[in-house]
Amino acid sequence: MSARPRITIERTERAPVTVPELGQMKAERRPIVMVTAYDHPSASAVEDAGVDVVLVGDSAANVVLGYESTVPVGMEEMLMLTAAVRRGLRTPLLIGDMPFGSYEAANELAITNAQHFVKQAGCAAVKLERGGASVDRARAIVRAGIPVMGHVGLTPQTAAALGGFKARGKTASQAAQIAEEALALQAAGCFAIVFEAIPADVCEVLMAKMEIPVIGIGAGPATDGQVLVFHDLLGIGSGRSPKFVKRYAELQGELVAGVERYAREVRAGTFPAPQHSYGIEPHELSEFRRYLDQETLAGGDADSAFSGWLG
């Protein structure tokens, strides 16, 4: 009997990541990699890097729109950024971050705005912050058929009102409140939850109660995955980073140095060089010169023999 030829299937394309796949990853203890993105180039970069989940965070307010906090950013801005990210992504699960004021007041408002993220920006899911009334909003959005990611611990949309940008859960009662919020969001049907700026030990203890994937940012290593802000991890921007950020590149210096080199060359007349310029056949150039040398040339005649050259 002759040996059968070995067939090897090469998987170059990963299928798009789904909500159930994240549950599977938790069950199999495969760490979930989540990162933020805010435009087409950052989306293409994280797509090519092979991350699992992309959040168009309302951190866009600070890192790309120049606001002082995440509070002012609105739905229109978030939808515009999220749609640009969608156009740059194929594989990771795309989550839209519901901005402050887009969901708190009523379930109907929350459902309508969550639908905008899905219908206009192509999101698979949305994220909202805090427990309390947000639990009802999360339940309502889930019942409307849209997967919801929760977010507890440090919640930037309300951080100023709740004691500033610092770790939460450093006392037993604060930790208990975080646990209550996380469990309520889990019971409301959230498919995953972000734990932000929580002591690693608190997180580790709480993980025993969490059946949904938990993505940490400043919550230690016990979570099912990690998330960082794109600009923080790549060192883009000049502000100070929170303690939990690790920089994997220092691009701000590179960006400034690149633009400085460009400015220097423009001022020195060394850019553009011949390889950056278009050519023209000598006879075409002579004809053009003759045209310019005509004594009758007055300018502004759209019907002239050369009116097409601008095109």
Size of the site for ligand KIV (CB under 6 A): 11
Six token digits for residue 123: 């999101």
Options 36, 42, 102, 134; binder of ligand KIV; rule CB under 6 A? 36
Which residue, 188 or 229, has its beta carbon nearer to ligand KIV? Answer: 229
Whole-angstrom distance, CA of residue 230 vs CA of residue 38:
9
> Which residue type is seen at 240?
R
Which residue, 59 or 82, has its beta carbon nearer to ligand KIV? Answer: 59
List b or e across 133-155, with b for residues whose CB sees 16 or more CB atoms inside 10 angstroms.
Answer: ebbebbbbbbebebbbbbbbbbb
The catalytic residues are 196
The position carrying tokens 């993505």 is 215
> Which residue type is seen at 48?
D
- Interface with ligand KIV includes 59 (CB under 6 A)? yes
Options 81, 175, 206, 227; binder of ligand KIV; rule CB under 6 A? 227
The least CB distance from residue 237 to ligand KIV, in Å, is 13
- Mark residues 122-151: x for contact with ligand KIV by CB under 6 A, - for none: -----------------------------x
Stretch that binds ligand KIV, among 53-61, 86-94, 247-255, 282-290 (CB under 6 A): 53-61
Q: Are 147 and 125 in contact (CB under 8 A)?
A: yes
The least CB distance from residue 47 to ligand KIV, in Å, is 18
The least CB distance from residue 98 to ligand KIV, in Å, is 10
Burial of 44 (0-12, 13-18, 19+ CB in 10 A): middle
- Interface with ligand KIV includes 58 (CB under 6 A)? yes
Q: What are phi and psi of 45, to 5 degrees?
A: -65, -45
Stretch that binds ligand KIV, among 39-47, 57-65, 204-212, 281-289 (CB under 6 A): 57-65
- Interface with ligand KIV includes 223 (CB under 6 A)? no
Which residue, 36 or 102, has its beta carbon nearer to ligand KIV? Answer: 36
- The DSSP secondary-structure symbol of 131 reads S
C-beta nearest to ligand KIV: residue: 57
- The DSSP secondary-structure symbol of 28 reads T
Hey, which residues between 80 and 99 contact ligand KIV (CB under 6 A)? 97
Spell out the alpha helix ranges (H) of the chain: 19-27, 40-49, 60-63, 75-88, 107-119, 133-143, 172-187, 200-207, 230-234, 251-268, 282-293
- Interface with ligand KIV includes 217 (CB under 6 A)? yes
Beta-carbon contacts of 117 under 8 Å, excluding residues fewer than 6 positions away, are 78, 79, 82, 96, 98, 123, 126, 146
- Mark residues 163-202: x for contact with ligand KIV by CB under 6 A, - for none: -------------------------------x--------
The least CB distance from residue 143 to ligand KIV, in Å, is 23
- Interface with ligand KIV includes 39 (CB under 6 A)? no
Helices 40-49/75-88 angle, 10° precision: 50
Which residues contribute to the site for ligand KIV (CB under 6 A)?
36, 55, 57-59, 97, 151, 194, 217, 227, 229
